[in-house]
Amino acid sequence: MQGGISGFQNVPVTRAVVLASGLLSVVFSALRRVRTLGLSYQSFISLLTQVCLKHFMSIAEAAAKGF
């Protein structure tokens, strides 16, 4: 068992795949909601930008406080 538990040698790859699939699912579900509401593509981009900025600002504030 030098490589650790079988199947866990590719943890960074698995983490990247999980994060990418989560991000894509959020983006595609947001696109579906925008289409359902009849909003334009430009309004979707601005809404997505606002949500991302709010999220990153909260992360920056938490990092500044030292978690």
What is the reported pLDDT for 4? 55
Residue 1 and residue 5: Cα distance in Å, rounded? 7
Given the structure tokens 């990247």, which residue do they identify? 16
Both tokens assigned to 23 = 């991000």
What is the reported pLDDT for 1? 45
Given the structure tokens 């994060």, which residue do they identify? 19
Residue 27 and residue 66: Cα distance in Å, rounded? 30
What is the reported pLDDT for 15? 84
Q: What is the pTM of this model?
A: 0.46
Q: Which residues of the chain have pLDDT under 50?
A: 1
